Chains A and B, each alone.
Chain A
Amino acid sequence: MRGGWFRVYTIVYLIFLYAPIILLPIFAFNNATTVAFPLVGFTTEWFGQLWTEPALHKALKNSLIIAISSAILATSFGIFAARASTRYRFPFKAPLMGLIMLPLVLPEVIVAVALLAVLLGMGLNLSIFTVILGHVLICTPFAIAILTSAFQSLDQSLEEASYDLGESAVSTFRLVILPLVMPGIISALLITFTISLDEFIIAFFLAGNENTLPVYILGQFRFPQNVPVIMALGTILVCLSIALLATAEYFRRRGIAKTGGKDTGGFL
């Protein structure tokens, strides 16, 4: 009896979670300008229309620039922070690491408003660069979390063995540490890329006259006739996100298997 209720609960929960997402592709292929049942017929027209929207292309280009830059910057910072926190001892380490990880739980709207105030106060123009700044801030804790797990599963005696066999600190990093944490780095890049690509609030506050993809999408909902096109775009984005996250998790797990460590984290 107990098992029965759990099953019902699980099914209801999953429907609640995924039904809206499943509706995306359904209406993306539905041959009607309104998002409503019953379905009318099959069409790929909405996907076709995606190619003829210059504003969309501009937003997509902005989003890609922001996401790629943020991913690379956040992951680079993450490498330094994860290395420092797993290998070195320094004063105030715990509170420092806590402060760096804080944006993970801070309300984004607070971060966005605070950044906006500072940037305007400094007299900087809002652009995609200011968005990158904000995204690096919120992506770095994710990168650190992933990379710390990668660095932690690295046996310190591997480094010592490399020194012992004649390598310097720099060549040891290149020959031993980097290859072993590479799966973690790839995984961090992919996840921070995805986070930045999806991010709305900071982009909305800090982009100025520019649009990013999520901001553009919200804007399109003012025009009901555009909604099916957005459904098509959403379908593509969902597929892309799933593919990216799956790849990231694959690399993270492979990294842990390679170094023979225990699985202690991860998002999937």
Chain B
Amino acid sequence: MTSEKPTMIEFKDVHKYYGDYHALRGITAKIRAGEFFSLLGPSGCGKTTLLRTIAGFEGISSGVVMIDGKDMEGVPANVRPTNMVFQSYAIFPHLTVAQNVGFGLRKDPRSKAEKAQAVAEALDMVGLNGYGDRAAHALSGGQRQRVALARALILKPKVLLLDEPLSALDKKMREQMQLELIKLQRQVGITFILVTHDQEEALVMSDRIAVMFEGEVAQLDDPETLYRRPNSRKVADFIGTMNFLPAKILSESGEKVEVEAEGFGKITLNAEQVSGANSGAASIGFRPETLTILFEGQTAADRESMATVEEVVYYGDMTYYDIKLDGTTETMRLSMRNVFGRPVLDIGTRTRVAWSSGALVLFR
């Protein structure tokens, strides 16, 4: 259903060199119109570089960048249908808030009064009603952020580019702005492209995420697929926490793969649970919340194993356990929602844990 949305941005085998340094290594991807898209990856992987090739601040060495069906080769930044919210916000310090927001309207043929109206509406949209006459250099970080948003959105771009817009805010402000940005994006319907190195932020905010490593897109999927079916151990490691157990593939027959994993024994997996991109030894991966401690009288819906508690980290609503499954050498992370009346286990406790073969991923 969502795949029927038209394409807004298309990268075709985009390469970018800084001198000898190969910063973008063959990016091919499509970003759909109206979606909240994130570029996620560790520092230096080329997220900002890719974003700047869309804005037109950075030329590409080879390949094609298309916006709304048009090849952007040779199109300068000031005529591209994109606007950017800079990491430093780039608020013009010599202008007032209203002058900043109205900066892009200089060549707009509308009357002065209509432009002032547009500025007021834009300020209203980002919750800065009545701030128009303030000096821009006297604003807080969160307020600058909003001014930058209003200044970009007032031009009704086809694409809004955001380069780590929340990284300068404190945790509480950041979480609030995340929700506001999502709401804003739904309200205006513009394609948002967000650069972030914070996987949680990307999962919370995005319709789809491109995970980048070293100038390449490793996986492009919606947050749930990315979390549940990472296509490589590297992606799995970068998004959330994933436990890995050494495994051996016993047999493959069409839709089914039979595996022997340390601590789990023999398991039968569906073909869709196999991430084949990796070379090297096979391993079974699972998220901490897919393992459950079984208390007196509880039985596993699918399978169960014995384990020893090695470490307990209590978080109030959650408890994280490091456990060692019988027959394994490495500790696994397990997370449990705390329920009233049920004890938190002590270090050293022997316990049964439930797991389900459907929640496992095979990397090979």
Beta-carbon nearest neighbor of B108 in chain A: A166
B77 interface neighbour in A164, A175, A179, Cβ under 8 Å:
A164
B65-98: CB near A (< 8 Å → 1, else 0) gives: 0000000000011110011101110101110000
Chain B 131-166 interface residues, beta-carbon cutoff 8 Å to A:
137, 151-152, 155
Whether A131 is near chain B, meaning CB under 8 Å from some CB there, is no
Q: How far apart sit A151 and B84, CA to CA, in the bound complex (Å)?
A: 23
User: What chain B residues lie within 8 Å of A168 (beta carbons)?
Assistant: 78
Contact yes or no, A164 B94, CB < 8 A: no
Q: How far apart sit A112 and B90, CA to CA, in the bound complex (Å)?
A: 46
Contact yes or no, B93 A259, CB < 8 A: yes
Contact yes or no, A161 B78, CB < 8 A: no
Whether B107 is near chain A, meaning CB under 8 Å from some CB there, is yes
Whether B103 is near chain A, meaning CB under 8 Å from some CB there, is yes
Contact yes or no, A160 B77, CB < 8 A: yes
Q: How far apart sit A167 and B76, CA to CA, in the bound complex (Å)?
A: 11
Whether B325 is near chain A, meaning CB under 8 Å from some CB there, is no
Contact yes or no, B93 A161, CB < 8 A: no
Whether A233 is near chain B, meaning CB under 8 Å from some CB there, is no
Contact yes or no, A155 B88, CB < 8 A: yes
B104 interface neighbour in A158, A165, A176, Cβ under 8 Å:
A165
Query: Closest CB of chain A to B52's CB: distance in Å?
Result: 9
Whether B57 is near chain A, meaning CB under 8 Å from some CB there, is yes
Q: How far apart sit A146 and B349, CA to CA, in the bound complex (Å)?
A: 71
B83 interface neighbour in A165, A179, A259, Cβ under 8 Å:
A165
Q: How far apart sit A157 and B92, CA to CA, in the bound complex (Å)?
A: 10
A136-180: CB near B (< 8 Å → 1, else 0) gives: 000000000000000000010110111111111001000110011
Is chain A's interface secondary structure helix, strand, loop, or mixed overall?
Answer: helix
Contact yes or no, A160 B83, CB < 8 A: no
Contact yes or no, B83 A164, CB < 8 A: yes
Chain A 218-264 interface residues, beta-carbon cutoff 8 Å to B:
258-260
Contact yes or no, A155 B90, CB < 8 A: yes
Whether B45 is near chain A, meaning CB under 8 Å from some CB there, is no
Whether B106 is near chain A, meaning CB under 8 Å from some CB there, is yes
Contact yes or no, A164 B106, CB < 8 A: no
Contact yes or no, B94 A260, CB < 8 A: no
User: What chain A residues lie within 8 Å of B78 (beta carbons)?
Assistant: 163-168
Classify chain B's interface size. 20 to 34
A258 interface neighbour in B77, B87, B93, Cβ under 8 Å:
B93
B155 interface neighbour in A160, A165, A258, Cβ under 8 Å:
A165
Contact yes or no, B107 A176, CB < 8 A: no
User: What chain A residues lie within 8 Å of B83 (beta carbons)?
Assistant: 164-165
Whether B14 is near chain A, meaning CB under 8 Å from some CB there, is no
Q: How far apart sit A179 and B136, CA to CA, in the bound complex (Å)?
A: 14
Q: A157-B86, A161-B86, A166-B104 are in contact. Are A180 and B93 (CB under 8 A)?
A: yes
B94 interface neighbour in A162, A166, A180, Cβ under 8 Å:
A180
Q: How far apart sit A249 and B197, CA to CA, in the bound complex (Å)?
A: 43
Query: Closest CB of chain B to A16's CB: distance in Å?
Result: 43
User: What chain A residues lie within 8 Å of B55 (beta carbons)?
Assistant: 160, 164
Contact yes or no, B103 A160, CB < 8 A: no
Contact yes or no, B137 A164, CB < 8 A: no
Query: Closest CB of chain A to B58's CB: distance in Å?
Result: 10
Q: How far apart sit A160 and B103, CA to CA, in the bound complex (Å)?
A: 13
Q: Most A CB atoms within 10 A — which of B77, B94, B106?
A: B94
A160 interface neighbour in B86, B93, B137, Cβ under 8 Å:
B86
A167 interface neighbour in B86, B93, B106, Cβ under 8 Å:
B106
B93 interface neighbour in A163, A171, A175, A260, Cβ under 8 Å:
A260
Contact yes or no, A166 B107, CB < 8 A: yes
Q: A166-B78, A166-B79 are in contact. Are A158 and B90 (CB under 8 A)?
A: yes
Q: How far apart sit A176 and B93, CA to CA, in the bound complex (Å)?
A: 9
User: What chain B residues lie within 8 Å of A259 (beta carbons)?
Assistant: 93
Contact yes or no, A163 B86, CB < 8 A: no
Contact yes or no, B92 A158, CB < 8 A: yes
Query: Closest CB of chain B to A103's CB: distance in Å?
Result: 33
Beta-carbon nearest neighbor of A159 in chain B: B90
Query: Closest CB of chain A to B48's CB: distance in Å?
Result: 11
Query: Closest CB of chain B to A198's CB: distance in Å?
Result: 33
Q: How far apart sit A179 and B107, CA to CA, in the bound complex (Å)?
A: 20
User: What chain A residues lie within 8 Å of B79 (beta carbons)?
Assistant: 166
Q: How far apart sit A162 and B106, CA to CA, in the bound complex (Å)?
A: 11
Q: How far apart sit A258 and B92, CA to CA, in the bound complex (Å)?
A: 10
Q: How far apart sit A128 and B83, CA to CA, in the bound complex (Å)?
A: 53
Beta-carbon nearest neighbor of B52 in chain A: A160
User: What chain B residues lie within 8 Å of A160 (beta carbons)?
Assistant: 55, 57, 77, 84, 86, 90
Contact yes or no, A161 B106, CB < 8 A: no
Contact yes or no, A161 B90, CB < 8 A: yes
User: What chain A residues lie within 8 Å of B151 (beta carbons)?
Assistant: 161, 165
Beta-carbon nearest neighbor of B95 in chain A: A179
Contact yes or no, B155 A179, CB < 8 A: no
Q: How far apart sit A165 and B83, CA to CA, in the bound complex (Å)?
A: 7
Using A160-B77, A160-B86, A164-B77 as known contacts, list a sample of 6 further A-B pairs with CB atoms less than 8 Å apart, ordered by residue number in A. Answer: A155-B90, A157-B90, A162-B92, A164-B55, A166-B107, A168-B78
List 11 A-B pairs, Cβ < 8 Å. Answer: A155-B90, A162-B103, A164-B77, A164-B82, A164-B83, A164-B84, A165-B104, A166-B107, A166-B155, A171-B106, A176-B92
Q: Which residues of B contact A (CB under 8 A)?
A: 55-57, 76-79, 82-84, 86-88, 90, 92-94, 103-104, 106-107, 137, 151-152, 155
